[in-house]
Structure 1
Amino acid sequence: MAKLKFGEVEENVVTREEFPLAKAQEVLKGETVAVIGYGVQGPGQSLNLRDNGINVIIGQRKDSPTWEKAIADGWVPGETLFEIEEAAEKATIIQYLLSDAAQIKVWPTIQKHLTPGKALYFSHGFGITYKEQTGIIPPADVDVILVAPKGSGTSLRRMFVQGRGLNSSYAIFQDATGKAKDRVIALGIAVGSGYLFETDFNREVSSDLTGERGSLMGAIQGLFAAQYDVLRAHGHTPSEAFNETVEELTQSLMPLVAENGMDWMYANCSTTAQRGALDWWKPFRDAIKPVVEKLYDSVVTGKEAARSIDLNSQADYRPKLEKELEELRNSEMWQAGKTVRTLRPENN
């Protein structure tokens, strides 16, 4: 295990060099990995596992759109594609990749097939961290592990196909067999991780829920909307407002940040842009930090979990979700974005 130093802080990480795919294949030889759920993470993780030579099957509700998607991706009913219960019964490792709400609903089915020596794998710490609310309490004689790719299953798969890796965290909640560490690292490598950094279920869910609601999704949409609205209110056209708010960030600047960091991106912008960014980042930080603190408190006290479980478990959840997404999709800003994207050179 390698050590990464951040000043006085050290982190344990696992790289492909010290734990190559061949080692992962050896660890997982003889295992049957059942990926339960074929929604957000399921396709990317299962296809990468399959391409890496791991014995993997899919458990999914029959005759659903995702069942048909699995067939389109090459999974064969009765051979590598099964109903959820049959897949769980066949598995030695159950990758529980349903949504948090669906995990609660399906848990009784999964629980009865967690026989001694099996492993229960998550890509999110939600179900275990909030087990008093979710009811997901594994038996003591199975391994409980986590690999959480730091991105969507779509990104995980795209980067794998490109020969790259998406960084992931890993955690061990319960080591019943003495093999949990080898199992979790092997699975992390086999699903396509660039490197793996150590965490625990509680820290994973606290950072993940904060990130999703903060800089990754919620806060950035709020920032986009605020800046776009101000520019439009002062007479800028939709195209100009969108380009200055979203397009330049995502297409030009974020790739520079990803390549070498924010300071390097600053150094590759005009001196006027540098000066303005250096002057204004701290006022933005000071304005936003109290909101992030409030958000983090809501996460660690379980308020966010309770709200998610309550709303996402309601019978009319999907129609309500679609209505909210439709409002976002039909906003002028994202309609402008739809038009702008058609004008990119690669689309012409």
Structure 2
Amino acid sequence: MPMTVYTDMDCDPAALQGKKIAILGYGNQGHAHALNLRDSGFDVIIGARDPGQSSGAKARDAGFMVLPFAEAVTIADIVMMTLPDEVIPAIYESAVAPFLRPGSALGFAHGLAVHFGAIRPAEDVDLFLIGPKGAGRWLRAEYLAGRGLACLIAVGHDATGATMQIALGYASGLGCGRAGMVETSFREECETDLFGEQAVLCGGIPALIAAGYDTLIEAGYAPEVAYFECVHEAKLVVDLMFEAGPEKMRQAISNTAEYGGYLAGEALVDDRMRQTMKTILTEIQSGAFAQRLFDDTRKGSPDLMRFRAHRHDGLEAAGERVRALMPWLVEKG
């Protein structure tokens, strides 16, 4: 199917006018949504678990009205869930569903809880998804620079007949209409996002980097040199691919790097690894991963804590020494 892409030109400027938007959560995505929408001229309030603590206090310091979740939902025309996936089901059941008015709109920044049935929004509420393709701080930085992040946009159900225009208006307010708003579905956004995170971005790349670093250390090379080669330069190569794609990246590197990359790439990404990727995707599609995430959360997150405890102290220490050579990186972090 051909891709449908919307821009600011496709948006009705009046779609969000006069509507109160409640952003639930003021973390990674929530703070960027709230600030960008406010700067775009919309009426934004923040819903927090405890308005006086942590993110709620930060939102208040930024000049927002901050209310408990249920109170924010009660007075909002549009509610956007930017909370962590694993806590959405409990908060939705206790503080969102009982207070949503028929005809209001409910949005999500990621489709996991809806797609896998952890929550089931009422049919008399507009349901939509806006998934900016990048972290919240990048969404905010691009907006301030007069640019924008592309996003995925989807309508789950359309109770009022205006859901797509509400979604487009919301995404445009984030600045996404400057780059492109790509129409998709809750299923496609959710499953591809999870797979990209696990197999490539947050699972595959860090694991490959750590394995490469360990291989050099075990062979007797200096930790700082290993860090430069396996971690520091990763950004340079990824930036080239981000700007112009893998083929342009290969044109920008040396023939030695290109030739060696082809050979090593074929050896590393073999049939076994491709089968592992298919298994990862199958577990995502079946809901097995989502169920494991929710089960772990209900138990107090023992799996997550165990994973976090496996810190690669050698690599982290080498990284601190390397970054100290570049004070601007230390200041930025």
Normalised-by-shorter TM-score class: over 0.9
Distance in structure 1 (CA, Å) of the matches to 2:46 and 2:106: 15
SS of aligned partner of 1:165: coil
Q: Is the 8 A contact 1:13 1:196 kept in 2?
A: yes
Question: Is the partner of 2:182 in helix, strand or coil?
Answer: strand
The one of 153, 157, 160 aligned to 1:170: 153
- SS for the counterpart of 1:264 is helix
Q: What secondary structure is seen at the aligned counterpart in 2 of 1:166? A: coil
Tell me if structure 2 keeps the 8 A contact 1:24–1:187.
no
Q: Distance in 1 between matches of 2:249 and 2:127?
A: 41
Question: Does the 8 Å contact 2:128/2:157 carry over to 1?
Answer: yes
Task: Tell me, in whole angstroms, the C-alpha distance in 2 between the residues paired with 1:347 and 1:128.
Answer: 39
Q: Do structure 1's residue 114 and structure 2's residue 108 form an aligned pair?
A: no
Correspondence list, 1:241-256, <5 A: 241-250=226-235, 252-256=236-240
Q: 2:113 aligns with which of 127, 150, 154?
A: 127
Equivalent residue letter for 2:40: N
Unaligned runs of 5+ in 1: 1-8
Q: For 2:34 and 2:123, how far apart are their aligned partners in 1?
A: 27
Please say if 1:183 is aligned against 2:166. yes
| Of 7, 11, 16, the match for 1:28 | 16
Match of 1:282 in 2: 266
How big is the shift at 1:347? 4.7
Letter paired with 2:255: T
In 1, Cα distance between equivalents of 2:181 and 2:5: 5
Query: Aligned partners of 2:7, 2:255: CA distance in 1, in Å?
Result: 38
**Superposed displacement of residue 85, structure 1:** 0.9
Aligned residue number for residue 131 of structure 2: 148
1:334 equivalent to 2:316? Answer: yes
In structure 1, how many angstroms separate the alpha carbons of the residues matched to 2:262 and 2:61?
50
Correspondence for 1:44 among 27, 32, 56:
32
Inter-partner Cα distance in structure 1 for 2:141 and 2:278:
34
**Alignment-derived partner of residue 15 in structure 1:** 7
Aligned to 1:265: 249
Q: Percent identity?
A: 32
Kindly state the Cα deviation for residue 208 of structure 1 after the two structures are TM-superposed: 1.1
Aligned residues of 2:111 and 2:190 also touching (Cα < 8 A): yes
Q: Secondary structure at the match of 1:40?
A: coil
Q: Distance in 2 between matches of 1:125 and 1:46?
A: 19
Cα distance in 2 for partners of 1:181, 1:24 equals: 10
Q: Confirm or deny: 8 A CA contact 1:24 1:189 kept in the other structure.
A: no
Q: How does 1:79-94 map to 2 (within 5 A)?
A: 80-94=65-79
In 2, are the aligned partners of 1:93 and 1:118 still within 8 Å (CA)?
A: yes
Residues 66/321 of structure 1: CA separation in 2 closer, same or farther (3 Å cut): farther
Shift of residue 326, structure 1, vs aligned partner? 4.9
Give the Cα separation in 1 of the matches to 2:68 and 2:327. Answer: 44
Conservation of the 8 A alpha-carbon contact between 1:13 and 1:198: yes
Aligned residue identity for 2:131 = A
Q: After superposition, where does 1:224-243 map in structure 2 within 5 Å?
A: 224-243=209-228
User: What's the CA shift for 1:114?
Assistant: 1.8
**Cα deviations across residues 208-256 of structure 1 (Å, max 9, x unaligned)?**
1111112110111110111111011111111111110010111x22221
Please report the RMSD computed on the Cα atoms of aligned residues, expressed in angstroms: 1.8
Question: Residue type of the partner of 2:38?
Answer: R
Unaligned runs of 5+ in 2: none
The structure-2 alpha-carbon separation of the partners of 1:148 and 1:337, relative to structure 1 and needing over 3 Å to count, comes to same
Following TM superposition, by how much is the alpha carbon of 1:26 offset from its aligned partner in structure 2, in angstroms?
Answer: 2.1
Aligned counterparts of 1:15 and 1:273: Cα–Cα separation in 2: 39
Shift of 1:173: 0.7
Residue 345 of structure 1: how far off its partner (Å):
5.7
